[in-house]
Amino acid sequence: MNVSRDGDSRSAPIGRIRKAPENFVTPDLRAEISSAGLDSERRGFLRRSFLAAAAALAAGPSLARAAESDPMILQPRPWSTKLGNPVASSPYGQPSSFESNLQRRQSPGLTPTPQASVAFAPLQGFFGIITPSGLHFERHHQGWVDVDPEQHRLMINGMVKEAKVYTMDDLMRLPSVSRMHFIECGANTGMEWGNAAVPTVQYTHGMLSCCEFTGVPLKTLLDDCGADLKNAKFVLAEGNDGSSMTRTISMEAALDDVIVAWGMNGEMLRPENGYPLRLVVPGVQGVSWVKWLRRIEVGDQPWNTKDETSHYVDMMPDGIHRQYTSIQEAKSVITTPSGGQALMGKGFYNVSGLAWSGRGKIKQVDVSFDGGSNWKTARLETPVLDKCLTRFNIDWVWDGSPVILQSRATDSTGFVQPRYRQLREVRGTRSTYHNNAIQSWQVDESGEVFNVQMD
Ligand SMILES: Nc1nc2c(c(=O)[nH]1)N[C@H]1C(S)=C(S)[C@@H](COP(=O)(O)O)O[C@H]1N2
Ligand SMILES: [Mo]
């Protein structure tokens, strides 16, 4: 077994790490473990887990407590004997004060300035597939802006019959769609190309989010302006911040599922994510999801702008840059348990994670508990949607010995997420972008979880 491990990870100044979150053993799961109504397939496994839980109980820390000894359930709590807070004392609802540790975080020293920077989403604390708007990852090349929607315009020009300028009111009168999609920065997991470099899933995979977006299909606007669909092959999307962000997008994608979006998770976009208008380019790397979108130009060849030539290109082993590799290929990661967390002792765990593919739906996720020798198929939670995060879960009984956990996604095209060895055979080690290799988490005897890398 070839395992390398970042020795400095635990002393890195990354703030308090959320350990062993509440979802390790939920009341529901406890109920399920002790209920009789289990289907036959899972019964054997759960009986074993029940035995393990019983053994753990005998050995020390228990999964549940005897009611007689717990004042938290026997005595009235202070908040249950007086009035609570008045209605609407927080007109825009905020998370519980007990959840204040769950935050977007910047990796120290990763980016040169506070504006040309990135804040990672805390994947270890998420359930299901939707990213809460306030915890969506942020990536700006020149800082974020809060644009007055009254002053915002979108122009469609280039190879069109009639160039047009739309106000937000114009756009929001058009027929809209709402779809759930993931967005992943092409540089996500980029720090791991050489070695296991950062301690937690927030930093290894946190340039990833998934929301419901609402807006008008780009196709509707191209039709409205009479785009020359016979000759035009591409569109250029331009943002209205100081970064001069422009990206070439294929006409095929533009006419397929690209959305000019104002809505995110049922409300207007947050300013950090492009308020009042951003492009949603499903399956394609985050940089093409141009924020504060002000212009779409229709053309017959790619533009080769700065963010398509000096950045967002893949350095290949022969030293040549691969350009316009925009699709985010199938990838997955276990988020619970993950680096920086600690198991609460031997026994039953729900191992949970996320899988996604820019080419379609997730078909299967397999999980290994022994560093990739044996694989078990995980449960995919519904909904399983196109170019959207898929949540997977799998039952596991930890016997207290050191293990390496991995997940491997297969998408609807049959593409299987590669091991590091397979990825490096093709791509070398000098790239920053599009690292979709299998992630390994090592659990040591104490239950602590570390980021490690395996061939
Ligand atoms: N106008 C503009 N659009 C932009 C960027 C930017 O800096 N300016 N950053 C891009 C990059 S590199 C990514 S990964 C995504 C990040 O989107 P988010 O901040 O909503 O997570 O936006 C893209 N769109
Ligand atoms: Mo990005």
pLDDT tens-digit series, residues 11-49: 222 222 322 222 223 333 333 333 322 223 333 333 344
CA dihedral 415, 179, 183, 455 (to 10 degrees): -20
Q: What is the mean pLDDT of residues 279-288?
A: 98
User: Is 287 close to ligand 1, i.e. is its CB under 6 Å away?
Assistant: yes
Query: 10 Å Cβ neighbour count for 268?
Result: 17
54 or 190, higher pLDDT: 190
User: Is 141 close to ligand 1, i.e. is its CB under 6 Å away?
Assistant: yes
User: Is 211 close to ligand 1, i.e. is its CB under 6 Å away?
Assistant: no
User: Is 186 close to ligand 1, i.e. is its CB under 6 Å away?
Assistant: no
Instruction: Report the percent of the chain where pLDDT is more than 90.
Output: 75
Instruction: Determine the pLDDT at residue 33.
Output: 30
User: Is 239 close to ligand 1, i.e. is its CB under 6 Å away?
Assistant: yes
| CA 79 to ligand 1 center in whole angstroms | 43
| CA 131 to ligand 1 center in whole angstroms | 16
Q: What is the 3-state secondary structure (H, E, C) of 293-347?
A: EEEEEEECCCCCCHHHHCCCCEECCCCCEECCCCECCCEEEEEECCCCCECCCCE
State pLDDT tens for residues 129-164.
999 999 999 999 999 999 999 999 999 999 999 999
**pLDDT value at 70 more than 90:** no
List, in order, residues 6 or more apart from 2 with CB less than 8 Å away.
Answer: 454, 455
Bridge partners (DSSP) listed for residue 405: 441
| CA 274 to ligand 1 center in whole angstroms | 8
Bridge partners (DSSP) listed for residue 332: 355
User: Is 137 close to ligand 1, i.e. is its CB under 6 Å away?
Assistant: yes
Bridge partners (DSSP) listed for residue 139: 118
Instruction: Identify the weakest region by mean pLDDT among 248-262, 309-323, 332-346, 382-396.
Output: 309-323
**pLDDT value at 2 more than 70:** no
Distances (CA, A) of 71 to 63, 67, 93: 17, 8, 31
User: Is 245 close to ligand 1, i.e. is its CB under 6 Å away?
Assistant: yes
Instruction: Determine the pLDDT at residue 310.
Output: 86
List, in order, residues 6 or more apart from 315 with CB less than 8 Å away.
Answer: 321, 322, 428, 430, 431, 432
| CA 143 to ligand 1 center in whole angstroms | 10
Atom of ligand 1 nearest to the CA of 139: 19
Which residues in 309-344 are b (16+ Cβ under 10 Å) and which e?
eeebbbbeeeeeeeebbbebbbbbbbbbbbbbbbbb
Q: Domains (ranges, CATH) in the chain?
A: 331-454 (2.60.40.650)
- What phi and psi, each to the nearest 5 degrees, are found at residue 443? -105, 120
Protein residue closest via CA to atom 16 of ligand 1:
139
Question: ∠ at Cα 332 (339, 402), nearest 5°?
Answer: 40
Tokens at 194, concatenated: 């050489």
Q: Residue 141: nearest ligand to its CA?
A: 1
How many angstroms separate the CA atoms of 274 and 268, rounded?
Answer: 10
**pLDDT value at 86 more than 50:** yes
Q: What is the mean pLDDT of residues 339-363?
A: 96
94 or 35, higher pLDDT: 94
How many angstroms separate the CA atoms of 349 and 24, rounded?
Answer: 6
Query: 10 Å Cβ neighbour count for 124?
Result: 24
How many angstroms separate the CA atoms of 310 and 316, rounded?
Answer: 14
| CA 288 to ligand 2 center in whole angstroms | 8
Would you say 285 and 433 are in contact if contact means Cβ atoms under 8 Å apart? Answer: yes
How many angstroms separate the CA atoms of 262 and 214, rounded?
Answer: 6
**pLDDT value at 224 more than 80:** yes
Q: How confident is the model at residue 166 (pLDDT cuts 50, 70, 90)?
A: very high
Q: What is the mean pLDDT of residues 295-317?
A: 93
Instruction: Determine the pLDDT at residue 28.
Output: 38
How many angstroms separate the CA atoms of 208 and 181, rounded?
Answer: 11
Would you say 237 and 288 are in contact if contact means Cβ atoms under 8 Å apart? Answer: yes
| CA 140 to ligand 1 center in whole angstroms | 5
How many angstroms separate the CA atoms of 289 and 310, rounded?
Answer: 18
| CA 360 to ligand 2 center in whole angstroms | 21
How many angstroms separate the CA atoms of 419 and 437, rounded?
Answer: 5
Q: What is the mean pLDDT of residues 231-248?
A: 96
User: Is 136 close to ligand 1, i.e. is its CB under 6 Å away?
Assistant: yes
Instruction: Determine the pLDDT at residue 17.
Output: 30
How many angstroms separate the CA atoms of 307 and 303, rounded?
Answer: 10
Which residues in 292-303 are b (16+ Cβ under 10 Å) and which e?
bbbbbbbbeebb
Would you say 77 and 361 are in contact if contact means Cβ atoms under 8 Å apart? Answer: no
For β-strands 164-167 and 246-250, DSSP reports them as unpaired
How many angstroms separate the CA atoms of 443 and 25, rounded?
Answer: 17
Distances (CA, A) of 49 to 122, 394, 395, 396: 29, 13, 9, 8
Distances (CA, A) of 101 to 6, 17, 18, 142, 338: 24, 8, 7, 27, 16
How many angstroms separate the CA atoms of 233 and 327, rounded?
Answer: 18
Instruction: Identify the weakest region by mean pLDDT among 6-20, 178-192, 243-257, 283-297.
Output: 6-20
Would you say 348 and 33 are in contact if contact means Cβ atoms under 8 Å apart? Answer: yes
List, in order, residues 6 or more apart from 188 with CB less than 8 Å away.
Answer: 205, 206, 207, 208, 286, 435
For β-strands 293-299 and 153-158, DSSP reports them as parallel
Instruction: Determine the pLDDT at residue 311.
Output: 87
Q: How confident is the model at residue 63 (pLDDT cuts 50, 70, 90)?
A: low
Instruction: Identify the weakest region by mean pLDDT among 12-21, 122-131, 252-261.
Output: 12-21
Query: 10 Å Cβ neighbour count for 437?
Result: 21
* Mean residue pLDDT across the chain: 87
Query: 10 Å Cβ neighbour count for 65?
Result: 10
Pocket test for ligand 1, best of 140, 142, 260, 288 (most atoms within 8 A of CB): 140
419 or 52, higher pLDDT: 419
CA dihedral 156, 160, 164, 167 (to 10 degrees): -40
Instruction: Determine the pLDDT at residue 49.
Output: 43
**pLDDT value at 368 more than 80:** yes
